[in-house]
Structure 1
């Protein structure tokens, strides 16, 4: 059973962050647009995420500044005070998002099913997805489209670039085989070892590839990139902190292969159809990995989570993370070199 038999007049999407999850949500929102081009869509997102989705066709972006706290919420409520949506897609099961949803007017407020929700989202919604067997985060988002009445089979993305952004990426890659390494995850414990990034960069260089480092201007990311660069035998292009989010996405699209731990760039690259070598030890790559590239994932999660829980993989609750600061040491340089060879052969 679906919620709408015909196109609703208006929908509001509530997905504030993070970059990877916003990438997943884009494919769902654009599937809705394709099915119901006349439906007006408003998307409430964070400031950084707005850099990526701010110029998506046919979507009205409302930016929430989380640093403003409750004051920022009241600003959103005031901005939307004269708007009542047919449905709110509450796609972020976090208390902050739920509090923000409280002041948004919508006939239906749709949240995750009971086996996927958390942090009391159930209390802020009046419609709930059925309990889901979907495993990957993107597939759980796709359940929102299906619940509305929009078919969803496989994700597609249409992220526009300006001429300057496209030229920036082409100038960097210069039509050469290029490995982009985005070395920093959201937590340092989820990063691969610095010397192993450097060894992989040298391996790629020996295969005739140019290597580009990318990341945000956060000091810890700049420091990590500088350390990798100093350990490499070959010259690498260090762009950490030197690109906008859209320039980065365009660059990932021009790359031959992207190497990254569990981070937003894995999913940005996926939106561009670029092969991703994902490095995963703390979260299940089948849930949070690059959607179209799980065959290129270095997966240390299975080993660690089974040791820590004593359970078979099928018996471990969805979303369970492995704990520890040294889990990424289980991923060897040799293992990742083989994945790079596999990616290049496939390409």
Structure 2
């Protein structure tokens, strides 16, 4: 059970792939959020039970009804929020595997009868992978292969035709304090477009994302493509397949991009990229987490609990435009892109 959020659900996919490879006769049921199912709900060989948290008690009842009369050998209880702990009561399972005590909260320990090994300094994906270790398995390779339908690829090809190197800019995190300043996004976009990159703004249909996109469009010298609110999760995956890089703060799109093999120009100050940055390749991120820890908490990152979020007003101002442009140029060189100027 991992119902949300998009980034964390993305981290579960390699665990599913590992189970399918190493225990192929195992029947898998995944309790997942309504939105998140739109991304992973077509993974082959997996039964999905949708949890609609917006539906309140009716959403819990729907999960309970779907599982009535069933019993499982094991529940991997991979979410510690109180809502999820209560939802887990809908699952009748002999083994209820949860987080170690250090990573538990909201009475999580009352809802499990086994715990994963206590570890610190892990990336979130590795922590989730450890849930299969009590089953005698170990994740030794990481594979996503999230299906993308032909319709989504066709739509993406219409938006991003040809072979022009493309930079996607996904400027908004659900934790708004992680967002960069409008003028800084605009400066990187202007630089990339001056170098001949095609740039596309992407984001969801919310009012906040629309407002942020409009502010960036008003601040740039050259207008990028504006695809804000026009895609779906699957169409976004298809856009990634036609892109070289993405500029984004710590967010769901960051982890979707990593799963798709796209280089991530990550903006990190409020969160630790070694815990929650792009899993496969963090070379193109700007990491100001230690500097943020020293400024806002008065001590280096090595002296604060692993996973501490430094979500303080102004924390993202520590990431400078010239640092991100330097990472953009280094990544372009690594990819062998032949840019103008």
The TM-score, its normalising length taken from structure 1, stands at 0.93
Deviation at 1:226, TM superposition (A): 1.2
Q: SS at 2:102's partner residue?
A: coil
2:58 maps to 1:36: no
Residue of structure 1 equivalent to 2:210: 222
2:182 maps to 1:194: yes
Aligned match for 1:148, one of 116, 135, 151: 135
2:93 maps to 1:106: yes
| Distance in structure 2 (CA, Å) of the matches to 1:103 and 1:239 | 40
Deviation at 1:317, TM superposition (A): 0.8
| Distance in structure 2 (CA, Å) of the matches to 1:224 and 1:233 | 16
Deviation at 1:134, TM superposition (A): 4.9
Residue of structure 2 equivalent to 1:5: none
Task: Give CA-to-partner distance per residue, 1:243-291, whole Å, 9 cap, x none.
Answer: 0110011212221100000110000001111100110111111111011
Task: Tell me if the contact between 1:44 and 1:61 (Cα under 8 Å) persists in the aligned partners.
Answer: yes
2:248 maps to 1:265: no
Residue of structure 1 equivalent to 2:316: 328
Deviation at 1:42, TM superposition (A): 0.6
| Distance in structure 1 (CA, Å) of the matches to 2:313 and 2:113 | 40
Residue of structure 1 equivalent to 2:298: 310
Task: Give CA-to-partner distance per residue, 1:112-155, whole Å, 9 cap, x none.
Answer: 11222222111100111121235110010011122322221232
Aligned match for 2:195, one of 207, 229, 232: 207
Q: SS at 1:196's partner residue?
A: helix
Residue of structure 2 equivalent to 1:4: none
**Aligned pair count?**
334
Q: SS at 1:102's partner residue?
A: helix
Residue of structure 2 equivalent to 1:297: 285
Task: Tell me if the contact between 1:52 and 1:245 (Cα under 8 Å) persists in the aligned partners.
Answer: yes
Q: SS at 2:97's partner residue?
A: strand
Residue of structure 2 equivalent to 1:25: 12
Q: SS at 2:313's partner residue?
A: coil
| Distance in structure 1 (CA, Å) of the matches to 2:11 and 2:321 | 29
| Distance in structure 2 (CA, Å) of the matches to 1:78 and 1:219 | 35
Q: SS at 1:296's partner residue?
A: coil
Residue ranges of structure 2 left out of the alignment (5+ in a row): 336-341
